[in-house]
Amino acid sequence: MQSVDRAIAILEILARRGATRVTDLAAELDVHKSTASRLLAALEQGGLVEQDGERGRYRLGFGVVRLAGAATAQLDLAKESREVCGRLAEEVGETVNVAVPLDGHAVNITQVRGPSAISGHNWVGQRTPSHATSSGKVLLAFGALDPPPRLERYTPATVTTVEELGLDRIRERGWASTVEELEIGLNAVAAPVRGADGAVVAAVSVSGPSYRLTPERLPEVGARLVEGADRISQRIGYYR
């Protein structure tokens, strides 16, 4: 933990001072120069710092920009999708989520509850399995996630082979669904959200109790989600 704290301190110093000598970093951290050099070498390997041309000086690396850009993109997506999600939640009456791919899972970054929603469950920040959720299936179908090596069974209805996921069909119709595949009594539908370059970066979904969000309703809700996902995509810079 001490090394992590010191590495963070180095990044903060470089952000504040700009290019800085190893000796000055070591002095501010109150560590030996060799310790500061080892920390800088690890940060440099990760692209978080880089040498400034003049030997012995370091500055923040492009890796920091990349991480900041990823965080900003998610914040922008959550912000820009909020209005559309609110409208969808009102129209459909159920809970609407936006999920992004992370470490093989679909992770929800925003949630809006509809007027008919009866569950207080908050999905924001939770990792959900790609093969057992509508958002995850969308991210799998459009290449934002790779299929997991093992498709774990959560309910008797959970799909446990890649072939059964029907990824070609999802791409063809533009939306995915789950019927009691993650939880008994819970159904869901999702559609892809595209970034400025056209790649799928997220999925917007509607989930609700199976007695209300019935299999017969899924195509109608799927069509609404495709329209909503297109509006979100436009708001974050995608144009056909």
Q: Is the pTM of this model over 0.85?
A: no
Q: What is the pLDDT of residue 8?
A: 85
75 and 136 co-located in one domain: yes
For residue 240 the two structure tokens come to 């056909």
What's the token pair of residue 154?
């959560």
**Quick check: is 145 in a domain?**
yes
Q: What is the pLDDT of residue 49?
A: 85
CATH number for the domain including 110? 3.30.450.40
Give the domain CATH number at 33. 1.10.10.10
What pLDDT, on a 0 to 100 scale, did the predictor assign at position 191?
98
Residue 66 confidence (pLDDT): 59
Q: How many residues does the chain have?
A: 240
Locate 166 and state its tokens.
């029907």
Q: Are residues 53 and 105 in the same domain?
A: no
With CA atoms as reference, report the closest residue to 91 among 230, 223, 234, 196.
223
Q: Which of 181, 201, 235, 200 is nearest to 109 (CA)?
A: 201
Query: Looking at residue 25, what is its pLDDT?
Result: 87
pLDDT per residue of the chain (240 residues) written in tens, 0 to 9: 677 888 888 888 888 888 888 888 888 888 888 888 888 888 888 888 888 766 668 888 767 655 655 555 555 787 888 899 999 999 999 999 999 998 899 999 888 988 876 655 676 778 899 999 999 999 999 999 999 889 999 999 999 999 999 999 999 999 999 999 999 999 999 999 998 788 999 999 999 999 999 999 999 999 999 999 999 998 887 766
Same domain (yes/no): 221, 163: yes
- Angstrom distance (rounded) from CA 208 to CA 134: 12
Domain ranges, residue 113: 70-235
186-194 and 127-129 as β-strands: parallel, antiparallel, unpaired?
Answer: unpaired
pLDDT of residue 15: 82
**Short-list 175, 64, 70, 81, CA closest to 124:** 81
89 and 45 in a single domain? The answer is no
Total number of domains in the chain: 2
Q: Mark whether 163 and 216 lie in a shared domain.
A: yes
pLDDT for 70: 53
| Maximum Cα interatomic distance, the chain, rounded to a whole number of Å | 69
In a domain, 240, yes or no: no
Q: Is residue 193 part of a domain?
A: yes
Same domain for 194 and 124:
yes
The side-by-side arrangement of strands in the sheet containing 176-179 is 127-129, 105-112, 95-102, 200-209, 186-194, 176-179
